[in-house]
Amino acid sequence: MDDKYVDFVVDTCLAAGKIMIESGSEMYRVEDTMHRIAQNAGVQSARVFTTPTGLFMGVDKTGSVQIEEVKERVINLEKVSRVNDLSRQFAAKLISLEELRDCLEDVDVNTAEYPLWMQAVGTAILSSTLMVLFMNDYDWYDFIPAAIIGTIGFLTFYFAKKFVNVRFLAEMLAAAVLGLLATAAHTINPAMSSDAIIIGSLMVLVPGLALTNSLRDLFAGHLLSGIGRGVEAILTAIALGGGVGIVIRFLGA
Amino acid sequence: MAYPLQILVNMSFSFLATFGFALTINIPRRALLLCGVSGMSGWMTYWWLMQLGTGRMIANLSGAFIIGILGIVFSRVRKMPIIIFNIPGIVPLVPGAPAFQAVRAIVDGDIDNALRLTMKVGIVISAIALGFMLAQLVSVLTTRISNNKKKRQMEQTL
């Protein structure tokens, strides 16, 4: 087995791992997938070290060590699922290593997302229905405002993220917009509760999933990634709370 | 509101909420409906247990446990990663309301209440994580048992 081949295997594994971390996969799945690809490519004794911001991989008794950095972390489960499928196909020898590498490139660039209007409709449904469930008093009055304001908040976040490089700032901006609109709705029609509207419309941005995932990472023994993701989730919570809090404080609602 | 209607509203709304969230995080199309089922089962477990008066922690833990078990079953049937079903599934259980009330209390300067509510959020999130771990435990145990059975059958046939 020559060094070039080993390097190529390591490169392929890292490409797979990077896509999975960027798309919000669990750490044990990332490591498992990378080990599997290496093993199926005939490279035993691969060493993998993953963190939420970068991953390393080396092979014993060769000089081959490579690093890949992870700059962006979002949740895009279609990508995780496609990498998973590719790894299975490679294990079943349906595709070769070169094809796997090309397909990974394709997954990274060309994974289709739902069109923006569908995501917006999803947010509207989520905000309004969860608001009713959470308030637990079948509050139909805020149903439509929650849907509309939730969608506006999501769109604000979506577009702000493209202009602002820091994700937390985009979250704070979206939360402030939500708070402002909810307070405005309450002022226009006092029968609407601004609290209920904010709770419903914030749900699409709330990092509850990130927190739960970080706890699971911690329990599973991935201390570094658990702490990293947990801190990220807490920062998001602070950004959201700060955005809403500032608006409420200034408007005195 | 009449009780059957309440059940209907809770079931359909938890299904829709999970479905809606699944759209925003780009869940593969063939998993969307199962995600909705998983979210609905988790929320209904939570809702019924809360009505029985078991308290927040047990209700959340059981809800997450059901979602975890369903996730394992669905992922084996569809050959997809578990998180595809788990992440949207817990959306209705995420303690969004107490989290916001905690922020509200901080803004109002009511620190005592804020601490109480933050603690509540922490407990709920830990309960959800524990529920998932229990589900994982069950899955590990069942695979062990079925593997052992297969081994024994193999030995017998040999």
Beta bridge partners of A66: A57
Chain-chain contact of B26 with A248 (C-beta, under 8 angstroms): no
Number of domains, chain B: 1
Chain-chain contact of A77 with B87 (C-beta, under 8 angstroms): yes
Residue whose pair of structure tokens reads 């803004």 in the numeric block: B107
pLDDT in tens, B62-120: 999 999 999 999 988 888 888 888 888 888 998 888 888 888 888 888 899 999 999 99
Contact between residue A178 and residue A123 where contact means Cβ atoms under 8 Å apart: no
Chain A positions touching B81 (Cβ under 8 A) are 25, 29, 77, 80-81, 84
- What mean pLDDT comes out for the span A109-122? 87
3-state secondary structure of B113: helix
Kindly report which listed range (A21-30, A176-185, B28-37) carries the lowest average pLDDT score.
Answer: A21-30
Q: How far apart are CA B34 and CA B89, in angstroms?
A: 9
Sequence letter at residue B84: I
pLDDT of residue A234: 87
Q: How far apart are CA B95 and CA A41, in angstroms?
A: 44
Chain B positions touching A88 (Cβ under 8 A) are 79
Tell me how close the Cα of B151 comes to any Cα of chain A, in angstroms: 23
Question: Cα A49 to the chain's mean position, in Å?
Answer: 20
pLDDT above 60: residue A253? no
- Is B153 within the bounds of a domain? no
- Is B143 within the bounds of a domain? no
Token pair recorded at residue B15: 């299904």
- Is B154 within the bounds of a domain? no
pLDDT of residue B157: 62
Domain span including residue B112? 3-135
- Is B144 within the bounds of a domain? no
Sequence letter at residue A213: N
- Is B13 within the bounds of a domain? yes
Longest CA span, chain B: 74
In chain A, the residue whose alpha carbon lies closest to the alpha carbon of B10 is A133
The ipTM assigned to this model is 0.85
Task: Choose from B16, B25, B110 for mutation: most chain A CBs within 10 A.
Answer: B25
Q: How far apart are CA B130 and CA B136, in angstroms?
A: 10
Tell me how close the Cα of B61 comes to any Cα of chain A, in angstroms: 12
CA-CA-CA-CA dihedral for A92, A28, A14, A226, to nearest 10 = 160
Containing H/E element for B125?
Answer: helix B111-157
Which residues does A239 contact at the CB level (< 8 Å), separation at least 6? Answer: A168, A169, A171, A172, A175
C-alpha closest to that of A208 among B121, B28, B114: B121
C-alpha closest to that of B90 among B121, B56, B125, B48: B125
Per-residue pLDDT band at A251 (split at 50, 70, 90): confident
Q: Can you spell out the DSSP letters for A205-245?
A: T-THHHHHHHHHHHHTT-HHHHHHHHHHHHHHHHHHHHHHH
- Is B16 within the bounds of a domain? yes
Tell me how close the Cα of A4 comes to any Cα of chain B, in angstroms: 32
Chain A positions touching B133 (Cβ under 8 A) are 216, 219
Contact between residue A78 and residue B32 where contact means Cβ atoms under 8 Å apart: no
- Is B24 within the bounds of a domain? yes
Chain-chain contact of B83 with A126 (C-beta, under 8 angstroms): no
- Is B118 within the bounds of a domain? yes
Containing H/E element for B105?
Answer: helix B96-107
pLDDT in tens, A21-48: 988 888 888 888 999 999 998 888 889 9
Kindly list the distances between the CA atom of residue A41 and the CA atoms of A37, A92, A102, A174, B107, in Å, as whole numbers in the listed order.
Answer: 6, 11, 15, 46, 56
pLDDT in tens, A116-132: 899 999 999 999 998 88
Half-sphere exposure of A27 (CA within 13 A, CB side): 26
Kindly list the distances between the CA atom of residue B104 and the CA atoms of A130, A166, B85, B98, B114, in Å, as whole numbers in the listed order.
Answer: 19, 25, 32, 10, 8
Instruction: Calculate what percentage of chain A has a pLDDT beyond 70.
Output: 98
Per-residue pLDDT band at B16 (split at 50, 70, 90): very high
